[in-house]
Every structure is written in C-alpha cells, then in structure tokens.
C-alpha cells in the first residue's frame, strides 16, 4: 500500500486550456518552412502533430523535418514564438477547477509538479499569464529532465528533486497517450487521463490509463481514495 506523495501534472490540455493554441502555433511555424494549409504536406504534418500531442516539440519537428536539425530548430523556435504571442494575446486560461485541484492536493500534503513539452521560455510565459508562478512545488520542461514524453524522465526528475520516497507514491495526469506512457514507464501508481485535451477516452484507455477522468478537478478525490496497490 502506498500513500501518494507527488502529483505530476501536464499543462496544455490538462491544467491549462489549449483552445487550439498548439495547432495555431504549429501552422505559423510550418508556414515558415514553406508548408501551407490546404496542401497534402500540411495535412500529413498536422495529423502527426495530433498523434504526438504531449511529446517534446523539438522531437516532433525533428521528425517532420526528416532529421534536418537546422530546419527543426528553426521550426521549433518559430512555434515557441508563435505560441508565446498567442498566450500574450490573452488566449490562455486554466482548465476549470485546475487551480482549485492543485490547491487541494497541496493542502492534503501532496507535492505538485507541472510539466510540459514546451521550452522553458514558453512554459514561463504560460505561468506568468495565469499568475501561476507559485502554484506548484516544481515546474519542469524536457530540457531540464533529459528527454520529454513518452520517456519517464520528467516524472523521475520530479521524484528526485522533490525527494519522494518511492515511484509508487506518484500520481500522474495528462490528456494524451504520451502522458499515459510517460507515467507508466516511470512506475507511478495512478496514471490518469483527462478528457479536456487532445485525446479521447478510448485512446487514453488503450494507452493504459489507470483512470480516465472528465477533468483534473476529479484527481484529488482519486488520490484521497483507498490506498493504491502498485
């Protein structure tokens, strides 16, 4: 039996409403590479972006640019810039009940880490836009952990930095199959999928989610329920 000590929560689509920001920023970035909406190339790339929601964005662009590192870095920088502009224009808000859920977890003695597939500059822009600089015990981006999702590095880095006793004392929550895979690979006892973002219930369940929740607001009740067997 393991008491949950740490909740590792995704940002866009899980605690932060996406509202199409990722796809809009992707469109701006890929247009700079000469790929425009309405073309087969664009449709194929957008489909890949949707399938890999939750993955580190530079990794996505490396695939889309067929391994050309210069083009991948250019596209990723354009994506981050476009996303920051959209956030700055006010297109950024918390998922309903997210702040309250985070507060409830921390009040119950559960540490909270917010993670993302974005660069640190973009993550900080989101946190600033929401007034969330102090909302969690830790915030992490892929560059600070080693690798992004679906690898377990973000969760394991949070475990180390927040001095959690056991990976089984971790709960994770995210809106994509890659979030689920990341949590499972890290050994978390609760690996919850939420339906406020990119992927639907069958996709999250097929990925191995231990719970599929309407939103992050239900997570505190899951964590405070009967103790978890790993």
Please tell me the pTM assigned to this model: 0.86
What DSSP character marks residue 29? H
Scan for tokens 């006892």, then name that residue. Answer: 189
- 191 and 205, same domain (yes or no): yes
- What CATH number is attached to the domain comprising 185? 3.40.50.1000
Q: Do 156 and 205 have their domain in common?
A: yes
Return left, alpha or beta for 47; rule: phi > 0 is left, psi -120 to 50 is alpha, else beta. alpha
Lowest mean pLDDT among 29-33, 130-134, 186-190, 192-196: 29-33
Print the domain residue range for 42.
Answer: 21-88
Longest dimension (CA), the chain: 54
Q: pLDDT tens for residues 105-150?
A: 999 999 999 999 888 988 998 999 899 999 999 999 999 998 889 9
- Integer Cα distance of 134 and 127 in angstroms: 9
Tell me: do 121 and 193 sit in the same domain. yes
Position 230 in a domain: no
Find where tokens 């609760």 sit. Answer: 190
Q: Are residues 121 and 74 in the same domain?
A: no
Residue 140 shares a structural domain with residue 209: yes
Same domain, 40 and 67: yes
Q: Which two tokens stand for residue 16?
A: 């932060």
pLDDT reported for residue 1: 57
Q: Is residue 82 domain-shared with residue 190, that is, in the same domain?
A: no
Domain of 31: which CATH number?
A: 1.10.150
Q: What is the pLDDT of residue 204?
A: 97
Report if residue 211 sits inside a domain. Answer: yes
**Residue pair 159/146 in contact by the 8 Å Cβ criterion:** no
Q: What is the Cα–Cα distance from 52 to 117, expressed in whole angstroms? A: 11
Both structure tokens of 206: 């097929």
Task: Name the pLDDT band for 53 (thresholds 50, 70, 90).
Answer: confident
């Amino acid at each position: 039996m393991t008491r949950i000590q740490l909740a590792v929560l995704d940002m866009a689509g899980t605690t932060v409403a996406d509202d199409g920001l990722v796809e809009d920023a992707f469109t701006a970035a890929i247009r700079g590479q000469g790929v425009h909406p309405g073309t087969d190339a664009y449709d194929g790339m957008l489909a890949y972006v949707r399938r890999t929601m939750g993955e580190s964005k530079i990794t996505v662009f490396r695939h889309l640019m067929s391994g050309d590192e210069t083009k991948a870095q250019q596209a990723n920088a354009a994506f981050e810039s476009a996303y920051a502009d959209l956030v700055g224009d006010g297109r950024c808000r918390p998922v309903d009940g997210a702040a309250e859920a985070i507060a409830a977890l921390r009040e119950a003695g559960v540490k909270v880490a917010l993670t993302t597939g974005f660069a640190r500059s973009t993550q900080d822009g989101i946190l600033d836009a929401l007034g969330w600089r102090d909302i969690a015990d830790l915030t992490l981006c892929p560059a600070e952990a080693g690798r992004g999702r679906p690898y377990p590095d973000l969760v394991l880095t949070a475990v180390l930095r927040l001095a959690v006793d056991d990976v089984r004392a971790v709960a994770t929550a995210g809106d994509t199959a890659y979030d689920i895979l990341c949590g499972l690979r890290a050994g978390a006892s609760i690996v919850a999928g939420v339906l406020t973002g990119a992927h639907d219930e069958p996709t999250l369940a097929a990925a191995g989610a231990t719970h599929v929740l309407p939103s992050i607001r239900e997570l505190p009740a899951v964590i405070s329920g009967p103790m978890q067997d790993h």
